[in-house]
Amino acid sequence: MYDLTRVWPTAHPGYARRMSNVFADESIDVVAPGDIIAVDRGSGPQPYKVVHKNHGDDSYLVTLEGDDGETFEQEFAAGTKVTRSLESKWESEQSPTPNT
């Protein structure tokens, strides 16, 4: 899907540093709050944390948060492929377990 080494260089602050285990072509159906996914808002894909996911008839309304704390909602059709980090929740400061 995306070559994340070019999209999110290691010098990028915030969520991009937590993208150590990236999986391309994951279905939006399996994304959960706390995951970090790539979203293109017009200037290329950027990392955003999933805050909330609401299932509609054939779609999901997902609330996303950027590094600056700004939140926005984006609708995804069910089955849409996204790039996400499976380990993002466990590498977070909010992790319920030690992440050493």
User: Does 52 reside within a domain?
Assistant: yes
Residue type at 26? E
> pLDDT higher for 96 or 5?
96
> pLDDT higher for 73 or 97?
73
pLDDT at 26: 87
User: Does 58 reside within a domain?
Assistant: yes
Mean pLDDT over residues 70-86, rounded?
A: 92
CA separation, residue 54 to residues 16, 31, 58, 76, 86 (Å) = 24, 11, 11, 10, 20
Which of 77, 29, 72, 23 is closest to 48 using CA atoms?
72
> 60: pLDDT confidence band, cut at 50, 70 and 90?
very high
User: Does 91 reside within a domain?
Assistant: no
Q: Structural domain tally of the chain? A: 1
User: Does 22 reside within a domain?
Assistant: yes
User: Does 15 reside within a domain?
Assistant: yes
pLDDT at 85: 80
Q: What CATH number does the domain containing 42 carry?
A: 2.30.30
Mean pLDDT over residues 46-56, rounded?
A: 93
User: Does 70 reside within a domain?
Assistant: yes
User: Does 76 reside within a domain?
Assistant: yes
Q: What is the mean pLDDT of the chain?
A: 77
Stated pTM of the model: 0.68
Planar angle of CA 40, 91, 63, nearest 5 degrees = 40
Domain with 60, as residue range(s), is: 4-85
> 25: pLDDT confidence band, cut at 50, 70 and 90?
confident
User: Does 92 reside within a domain?
Assistant: no
